[in-house]
Amino acid sequence: MAMTREENDLLTQVDNGAPMGEMFRQHYWLPAVPSSKLEAGGAPMRIRLLGSNYVVFRADDGRVGCFDELCPHRKASLVLAQNEDNALRCIYHGWKFSVDGRMIEAPNQVGDQERFCRNVRFNAYRVEDRGGIVWVWLGRGETPPPFPDLPFTYLPADQRSVTSQEVPTNWLQGVEASMDSSHVGVLHESTTQITASGGNQRINMTKALAPRMEFEDRPYGYRYAALREMSDQGVYARINNFVMPWYGVICAPEPNGPATVFFSTPVDDTTHRAWFVHYNVHRPLGMTIMSATPDVWNFPPLPPGTAADGWGQNRDLMKRGHATGFPQHLGTEDFAMFLSQGPIHDRTDEQLCSADAAVVKVRQLLLRSVREFLDGKIPHLANNPDLDYRTANSVGGLLRPGEDWRSLAADAAPVATAG
């Protein structure tokens, strides 16, 4: 059944008080910036989330602060501020804000400065620096939502890499791709062949393009098995997890290899930030196609062209056998698809097939959650007694005759824990 215009708008819009954006703001932590981008005592950074601008910085003592971007005085940008004494000082008039969210100086105010500072309306936000990412909670109240302590967040730095790229399309296009198992064997056929030159199980996805899908609801969202009949080997199963509201936890292509978490967070209605976390719970990550990242804030690369030239697609390379003509990176191939769908993909005229079941389920969970929010409830998948993000482990492998895919999931490596 095609989606209605109202449903498409409810799913995609996050700006200007849109219900989905307000639900994210109140009930979820948002990835803001790779931890490595913030230098102690260094330059503040502007970040844009849910259609609003913020400033983040690392103080001299290593703590991270997040404020509204504009100084509450005359609305100059705090991106230009001096980072000093574990605080930001606005260079316009010297107003100063400590990393823990207090206004502490107003040099141009006559009289009781301390009292004046206490009465200035100033927004500072909760911050967590975990898993190589600085996360912020933009909601109201004293108690933040549960932190998404996914399997990579407690790993040491040498067992993970974090990279991201801003993409000029709506956030949901990226989220849906992370749960679209059948596109991998087509769109990423050449990338898979290149990365599997030493042999890995993901090459099986290029041999069977119509997976059978089976689902299991989980407290954080769902997990699914994409089952591919391999005539000579049995059944190849990929068991992946969707974690509300945007995390796709994707299994490693070979036993004890690196897995990936893809997530696409809303910058505004027509822009998102694509995140790629590559991690290995068993050993140091080393150099991989993901960890060999020249710029953690602008990688993988966007397609090199515009719509006028097919987004820079290399047709000569396609004649020589490359499946897409976008050899830059697996992510570049995905970005080209998002761009070709338009700034906000119109889901009202789609014609879906059996392989799209996981994408449909993403939409259903998001719609259910935002409608719960509109009814004044805490969305069930945002906070419930059984919620444990650490159990969102994904695994792939060949099933023995008669073996249930859930047994493969049960054999997955235990999650990493603090310490």
Q: Where are the domains of the chain?
A: 29-137, 157-410
User: What confidence score (pLDDT) does residue 203 get?
Assistant: 54
Q: Is the pLDDT reported for residue 416 higher than 50?
A: no
User: What confidence score (pLDDT) does residue 210 get?
Assistant: 75
Rounded mean pLDDT, 357-379: 97
CA–CA distance, 70 with 59 (Å, rounded to integer): 18
List Cα–Cα distances, 266 to 12, 51, 52, 132, 407, in angstroms. 9, 8, 10, 19, 36
CA–CA distance, 418 with 401 (Å, rounded to integer): 38
Which 3 state secondary structure label does DSSP give 231? Answer: coil
One CATH from 3.40.50.720, 3.40.50.300, 3.40.980.10, 2.102.10.10 for 29-137? 2.102.10.10
User: What confidence score (pLDDT) does residue 391 get?
Assistant: 92
More confidently predicted of 315 and 257: 315
- Contact call for residues 26 and 115 (beta carbons, < 8 A): no
CA dihedral 277, 282, 284, 286 (to 10 degrees): -70
User: What confidence score (pLDDT) does residue 201 get?
Assistant: 53
CB atoms within 10 A of CB 157: 13
Helix axes 357-374, 171-178, angle to 10 degrees: 130
Q: Is the pLDDT reported for residue 105 higher than 70?
A: yes
User: What confidence score (pLDDT) does residue 413 get?
Assistant: 47
Rounded mean pLDDT, 53-61: 98
In tens, the pLDDT along 311-320 reads 999 999 999 9
Q: Which residues contact 135 (CB under 8 A, 6 or more apart)?
A: 29, 30, 31, 32, 127, 128, 129, 147, 148
Nearest to 271 by CA among 173, 192, 358: 173
Cα–Cα–Cα angle for 250, 283, 265, nearest 5°? 35
- Contact call for residues 322 and 291 (beta carbons, < 8 A): no
**Where does the pLDDT of residue 295 fall: very low under 50, low under 70, confident under 90, or very high at 90 and above?**
very high
One CATH from 3.40.50, 3.30.420, 3.90.380, 1.20.1250 for 157-410? 3.90.380
User: What confidence score (pLDDT) does residue 417 get?
Assistant: 46
User: What confidence score (pLDDT) does residue 143 get?
Assistant: 93
CA 240 to chain centre: 15
**Where does the pLDDT of residue 267 fall: very low under 50, low under 70, confident under 90, or very high at 90 and above?**
very high
More confidently predicted of 2 and 45: 45
User: What confidence score (pLDDT) does residue 408 get?
Assistant: 82
**Where does the pLDDT of residue 1 fall: very low under 50, low under 70, confident under 90, or very high at 90 and above?**
low
Rounded mean pLDDT, 263-285: 96
> What is the average pLDDT score of the chain?
92
Rounded mean pLDDT, 22-40: 98
**Where does the pLDDT of residue 376 fall: very low under 50, low under 70, confident under 90, or very high at 90 and above?**
very high
CA–CA distance, 249 with 414 (Å, rounded to integer): 15
In tens, the pLDDT along 142-176 reads 999 999 999 999 999 999 999 999 999 999 999 99
**Where does the pLDDT of residue 407 fall: very low under 50, low under 70, confident under 90, or very high at 90 and above?**
confident
Rounded mean pLDDT, 287-306: 92
Rounded mean pLDDT, 208-223: 88
Q: Is the pLDDT reported for residue 275 higher than 60?
A: yes
User: What confidence score (pLDDT) does residue 403 get?
Assistant: 87
